[in-house]
Amino acid sequence: MSKQDMREEAERLIREAMAKKTITVKQGNTRIEAVCGKCGAPNRVTAQPGETRVEYTCKECGQKQKTL
């Protein structure tokens, strides 16, 4: 089975499942990889749907910041 055949099969299965209404699509939280502006440490921040800037505290230095 070629890649094109597999893509077509996956699309067909998705269309059938959506037509049967057996799948519910939900919007979940977004995970943002932020870098501290003070010490440069990586931080993983969770944002609710619709939020673009989230306040967080750096896990290394404790500096309060907002994501970009």
Task: For residue range 24-41, list pLDDT tens digits in order.
Answer: 777 888 899 999 988 999
Half-sphere exposure of 28 (CA within 13 A, CB side): 6
Confidence of residue 20 (pLDDT cuts 50, 70, 90): confident
Whether 14 has a pLDDT exceeding 90, the answer reads no
Question: Mind listing the pLDDT tens digit for each residue in 36-59?
Answer: 988 999 999 999 888 888 999 998
Whether 6 has a pLDDT exceeding 90, the answer reads yes
What is the residue extent of each domain of the chain? 3-66
Decide: helix, strand or coil at residue 8: helix
Confidence of residue 4 (pLDDT cuts 50, 70, 90): very high
